Amino acid sequence: MKDISSFSISHLQDFGYLIVANTQLDILGISECARVWADEDPEKILGSSLEIFFHKIFNISSYSFMQVISELTENRIPRQIITKKIDNQLYYFKLSLCDELLYIEWEKQQKKHILSSKMNELGFLFDHSYPTDWKFVCSALNRLLNFDRVFVLQVLETGHSKVIAEHAANGKLLFHKKEFSQRFMPPSVLSYYETQSYRYIPDLARSSQQFYTTDDSLNMLLSQLVCPPELHELYLKNIGVNAALFFPLFINDQFWGLVIAHNDKPKKVDLQKRKLCSFIVQNAMSKYENLVKQGLLDFNQQILQTEIVFKEKLATNKTVNCAMVNNMDLLMQMTKADGLAVYHQGDLFFHGSCPKTNQFYEIIHYIQKTTDKTIFKDYNFKLNHGQFISEDLPFAGLLSYMVGKDKDHYLVWFRKETVSTITQMEVREGIIHIWEESIRDSAIPWDGSELNFVQCLHRIVNESIIYKTKEKSLLTEELLAMNNELEMFTFTLSHDLKNPLSILKMGLQFLEVSDSTLPAEKRMHWYKNLLGSILNIEDIINNIVTVSQNKTTAMAKDPVPMSYTIRKLSQEMTMLYHTEQCQFHFGKLFPLWGEKSALYQVFLNLIGNAVKYSSSKQKPQIWIDSLQDEKEVCYSIKDNGIGIPPNSLPHIFDMFSRAHNTQHFQGSGIGLSLVKRIMDRLGGKIEIHSQEAEGTEIKLYFPLVSDFPSSMLLEN
């Protein structure tokens, strides 16, 4: 052979022949098997005419063959297969046109026909009513191929690939449920399988043939003769496989997996049989894709129904959080989670399998600190982040949804650990190293449909927040209008009460100096005038009260958890009044029906008073407990402070009223009056029991609107 150093040389499988030419039919590349057939050196063939080459091969006129090639190039036909007999041997010629290059590949025909009995056996696969069962597909393919093993390998969202179905001959190594790491199917390997309807290796043990070309940019993946990726070639040899077929699977034009056939001994499969197998696989995948899409349609229908439910809940509940808490079952069901926690401004609700309260607060603070994503997911959360949490996590996977942008409202789903065995492999210096590795601290990943649900939830929550913001804006406008009306009421009172008050004052002054000399008839006349003035004052006040009551907006009521708020207020009040020695005793702290800020005001005042007025004791003690019956929840706040004198108790709710023993404590006398008014607006009541110098107990009674969500009744 002459010097060919000016040409690029690569390697191909040797079961066929390959020539690459441009559209002017000049040869740009040729395989060694084709070169030998022409009995010419590469440098003589490269750049020469394709017609001359095939004329020499066919030993007769190549007119009909070249006419097919001309029609293909002129009409831009992407591919065509023809048969041609050469020296009494039939060959398949596959012609492909891509990027102004013509790929001509040919191989011997192995077997001309497929038995009709075989086709009848496979007829059920093409029945539209027959569902795709990958195990049956593997079995059916092997009736045609008669290989040692046929299986389906699915590439998962994690990058791992897993065998989901298999048909294997007796005594052969089973691959079913075998899982490979991300290294097994990297993007560089996927391109090998994606570019053809199948890949074929008849004899892995045979030496390869050389390919000579003057164009290094030729895309050799367009040829069936291209050698498999080194990783897969070494793996096949390692497990004793010498012949293999690979059929790629796609869903929505995205690579989904492979149907793979293995045979321990070399085995040639006729092109027509390979094409039939490819058609069977594509038909099965088409039906499977329809099933997947139908499943997505069904799930999307579930999402739509869930959306309707949530919109109704968001409309009937004054807060987004209440709607979430009341539907934790549904939120878990739609995401297939093992547990769900709702966090809102320190309040916490658990459902299902969740971490402990203190640990969850650590997790929330970690999420708040490390990510700004609205939706954050990690099926390896325990593996990747567990070292930043103080105790061992009882879950492996985490999915969080941040409601709004203030990082104070989260939904967090949990999934338990799934232990799996992964096949790892690595090529070092041309030698493949394979080992099994147990993967822990990992969960089943959330799939696209489940994440789609969370995206939908995000959308309807945003719509609700926008609506409630508008509602709040309207309420603010109403409050401004009410404030203006209040000013008008003030002016009305100051103006309209002047006359009757003046008359009353004048009459009283007149009677004071003239009563003894005034006749009885005149005196009665003056009394009637004074009574009329009093009635006028009463009417004015009643009218103002009636108008103001009609203008008052009813206080919204939602179920509000109290445990976190009460404990937090207790800590804050201890710091405020410098009573670190104060000891709190917490009993059961039931949730309440009310408006969160109003309830906060109530307990802020009462806990603050308990801490303040017991701070002079050597060992301040405060007890907070609650009870629930069918009609109401009763809260008790008891201290061992200075108590309230008996003569002050009747006036304790009066504005600016303060007992005589509170002179050394700062205060305005407004707090209990405010608490009383809030309790009245909530439809509740307040009772005070106190003994001077021994302490005070305040009881608050809150009516039940309906049952609390079960997650609110869990003890923290």
Looking at the predicted structure, is the pLDDT value of residue 546 above 60?
A: no
Mean pLDDT is highest, among 359-373, 479-493, 573-587, for 359-373
Number of domains in the chain: 3
Looking at the predicted structure, is the pLDDT value of residue 400 above 90?
A: yes
Looking at the predicted structure, is the pLDDT value of residue 641 above 70?
A: yes
Residues 6+ apart with CB under 8 A from 640: 614, 617, 619, 620, 621, 622, 694, 695
pLDDT at 184: 94
pLDDT at 480: 64
Contact 356, 389 (CB under 8 A): no
Lowest mean pLDDT among 44-58, 275-289, 664-678: 664-678
CATH number at residue 587: 3.30.565.10
Distance CA 148, CA 245 (A): 12
Instruction: State mean pLDDT over 58-84.
Output: 83
Residue 185 lies in a domain: no
Lowest mean pLDDT among 240-254, 258-272, 282-296, 383-397: 282-296
Residues 461 and 580 in one domain: no
**DSSP readout, 627-670?**
EE-SSEEEEEEEE-SS---GGGGGGTTSTT---GGGTTS---S-
Output 428 or 712, whichever has higher pLDDT.
Answer: 428
Looking at the predicted structure, is the pLDDT value of residue 713 above 70?
A: yes
Residue 671 lies in a domain: yes
pLDDT at 538: 65
Residue pLDDT, tens place only, 601-614: 899 889 999 999 99
Output 674 or 184, whichever has higher pLDDT.
Answer: 184
Residue 515 lies in a domain: no
Contact 632, 591 (CB under 8 A): no
Domain boundary among the residues 404, 434, 468 is at: 468
Residues 457 and 600 in one domain: no
pLDDT at 30: 95
Residue pLDDT, tens place only, 568-578: 889 888 887 88
Residue 127 confidence class, pLDDT cut points 50, 70, 90: low
Domain boundary among the residues 82, 108, 134 is at: 108
| Domain interval for residue 417 | 317-468
Residue 492 confidence class, pLDDT cut points 50, 70, 90: very low
Residues 579 and 702 in one domain: yes
Looking at the predicted structure, is the pLDDT value of residue 551 above 50?
A: no
Output 596 or 585, whichever has higher pLDDT.
Answer: 585
Residues 571 and 448 in one domain: no
Residue pLDDT, tens place only, 516-539: 777 877 777 677 667 756 765 665
Instruction: State mean pLDDT over 553-561.
Output: 75
CATH number at residue 64: 3.30.450.20
Residue 297 confidence class, pLDDT cut points 50, 70, 90: low
Residues 326 and 441 in one domain: yes
Residues 582 and 459 in one domain: no
pLDDT at 481: 58
Residue 120 confidence class, pLDDT cut points 50, 70, 90: low
Residue 257 lies in a domain: no
Domain boundary among the residues 57, 75, 108 is at: 108
Distance CA 565, CA 595 (A): 13
Contact 460, 311 (CB under 8 A): yes
Instruction: State mean pLDDT over 124-147.
Output: 76
Contact 242, 128 (CB under 8 A): no
Residues 328 and 460 in one domain: yes
Residue 270 lies in a domain: no
pLDDT at 547: 45
Q: Which two tokens stand for residue 473?
A: 């804006």
Residue 495 confidence class, pLDDT cut points 50, 70, 90: very low
CATH number at residue 463: 3.30.450.270
Residue 273 lies in a domain: no
Residue pLDDT, tens place only, 329-351: 889 998 999 999 999 988 889 99
User: pLDDT averaged over the chain?
Assistant: 84
Residue 2 confidence class, pLDDT cut points 50, 70, 90: very low
Residue 239 confidence class, pLDDT cut points 50, 70, 90: very high
Residue pLDDT, tens place only, 186-226: 988 999 999 999 999 999 999 899 999 999 889 999 999 99
Distance CA 713, CA 6 (A): 82
Contact 331, 324 (CB under 8 A): yes
Looking at the predicted structure, is the pLDDT value of residue 675 above 80?
A: yes
Looking at the predicted structure, is the pLDDT value of residue 615 above 70?
A: yes
Residue 405 lies in a domain: yes
Q: Which two tokens stand for residue 276?
A: 């039939």
pLDDT at 28: 95
Residues 565 and 709 in one domain: yes
Lowest mean pLDDT among 42-46, 126-130, 259-263, 701-705: 126-130
62: how many CB neighbours lie within 10 A of its CB? 19
Residue 496 lies in a domain: no
Output 171 or 103, whichever has higher pLDDT.
Answer: 103
* Helix boundaries (H) for 127-226: 134-145, 187-194
- 252 dihedral zone (left: phi>0; alpha: psi -120 to 50; beta): left
Collapsed DSSP state (helix, strand, coil) of residue 502: helix
Evaluate the CA torsion angle 545, 546, 547, 553 in order and state its sign.
positive
Q: What is the identity of the amino acid at 128?
A: H
Mean pLDDT is highest, among 74-78, 132-136, 627-631, for 627-631
Contact 675, 660 (CB under 8 A): no
Residue 716 confidence class, pLDDT cut points 50, 70, 90: very low
Distance CA 513, CA 526 (A): 13
State what percent of residues in the chain have pLDDT above 90.
Answer: 48
Output 441 or 634, whichever has higher pLDDT.
Answer: 634
Lowest mean pLDDT among 113-122, 230-239, 251-260, 441-450: 113-122
pLDDT at 459: 84
Question: How large is the greatest C-alpha to C-alpha distance in the chain, in angstroms?
Answer: 156
Mean pLDDT is highest, among 323-327, 461-465, 531-535, 629-633, for 629-633
